[in-house]
Amino acid sequence: MQLTKISLAAPYLLYLGDVPDLHHAKTGAGIAHWRPEHCAGQMRLPNCPVDLGLPEMTLQDAAAAGVKTVIVGVAPMGGAIPDHWIPQLIRLAAAGFDIAAGMHMKLADMPDLVAAASKSGAKLIDVRVPPKGIPVGTGRLRSGKRVLMVGTDCAVGKKYSALALHRELERRDIKSTFRATGQTGIMIAGEGIPIDAVVADFISGAAEQLSPDNDDDHWDVIEGQGSLLNPSYSGVSLGLLHGSQPNAIVLCHDAMRMEIDGCGGDYPIPELDEVIDDALRMARLIRKQCFCAGVSVNTSQMDDFHRDAYLSRLQSELGIPCVDPVATGMTPIANFLLKFAP
């Protein structure tokens, strides 16, 4: 079975609409961070508070800059494109720009957008479409090594952590592959499987296909999805955990997140040692020797002093490396992973 493969022509224009916060613009933010050389600018509706720090562009500006692909850089709950964004997307498609999106709502199901793209010759690229023929998971242990990012919640830095760890392993000339499981990761890597678009019975099978047998010294660094703690998305997280069969996990957390987002304040995030123990209990149903290689924390809302104090305290409490993948890097986690992997 082939993975979902995409090819996006650069340079990109990141379309943000009027998304209310950076949390819901994580697709655009991820692409701007990991593929800055491909990003020409951003386009927003009036009063959009999110700014990725890219040049603001009109349709005419984008054409003058040679933009090839407009990426809908948002990930709202439910995955729908708001009706009031559609006229602008139609104008962009009519002007000949390819449009790419990773929403559950498909570009190909929007007749007016399809008509505009057909007339101009533009491509509509739906990223959140799993490949055909995904089998049911078998549980067969595979060769090679795997490390999976698991989260205390959605949007806490699982993708950033995986990409940063993969970059660190590559820097050391260690054989490794970043395995994308979400729309942003697929746009960055060019291939993967959108795990949250897979029918539930086949999630673990999709994870097995995403990370096949490999050399004994090869690491698959697998992007996580959702959270075992999140009552809305725990199903995808457990299927991915069991299908990935990780040798190790890295717990990802937002230092300012005290409760599960979007659930009305009824679900406080437990102490991190409890979260790690529960994740390992589930992981060891498949891979008996799975261990936690560290905690990767989004501390972007802290200053340097409070970040360092927080990470130091956490590391002392847990006895494993605790880092910010962007601010401090993944070197300690990579060291721990390589030292203790069976």
> Could you give the number of structural domains in the chain?
2
Token pair of 110 as six digits: 């929007």
Same domain (yes/no): 256, 219: yes
* Domain match, 187 and 47 both: no
184 is a domain residue? yes
pLDDT score, position 308: 97
CB of 214 closer than 8 Å to CB of 143 = yes
Pairwise CA distance, residues 100 & 6, whole Å: 10
Q: How far apart are CA 69 and CA 42, in angstroms?
A: 12
Query: What's the rounded Cα separation, in Å, for the pair 314 and 311?
Result: 5
Per the DSSP assignment, residues forming a β-bridge with 4 are: 192
> Are 149 and 251 within one domain?
yes
- For residue 53, what is the domain's CATH number? 3.40.50.720
Residue 286: predicted pLDDT? 96
By the 10 Å C-beta count (0-12 exposed, 13-18 middle, 19+ buried), 96 is classed as middle
**Which residues face 177 on adjacent strands?**
220
- Which helix (DSSP H) or strand (DSSP E) does residue 219 occupy? strand 219-222
Percent of the chain at pLDDT above 70? 99
Is 182 in the same domain as 76?
Answer: no
Pairwise CA distance, residues 261 & 77, whole Å: 11
- Interval 301-310: pLDDT, tens: 999 999 999 9
Tokens 């300012």, residue located: 256
Whether residue 197 sits in one domain with residue 318: yes
Q: Tokens in use for 108?
A: 């190909």
Range of the domain at 209: 145-340
In a domain? residue 248: yes
Q: What is the dihedral of CA 180, 181, 182, 188, to 10 degrees?
A: 0
- Domain boundary (126, 154, 185) is at 126
Shared domain for 116 and 173, answered yes or no, is: no
Task: Examine residue 193 and state whether it is found in any structural domain, yes or no.
Answer: yes
**161 closest CA partner among 58, 315, 34, 279:** 34
The reply to whether 262 falls in a domain is: yes
Residue 58 shares a structural domain with residue 184 = no
Domain boundary among 126, 160, 175: 126
* 325 shares its domain with 258: yes
Q: Which residues does the chain have with pLDDT short of 70?
A: 1, 77-78
Which of 97, 129, 119, 108 lies closest to 8 in space, CA to CA? 97
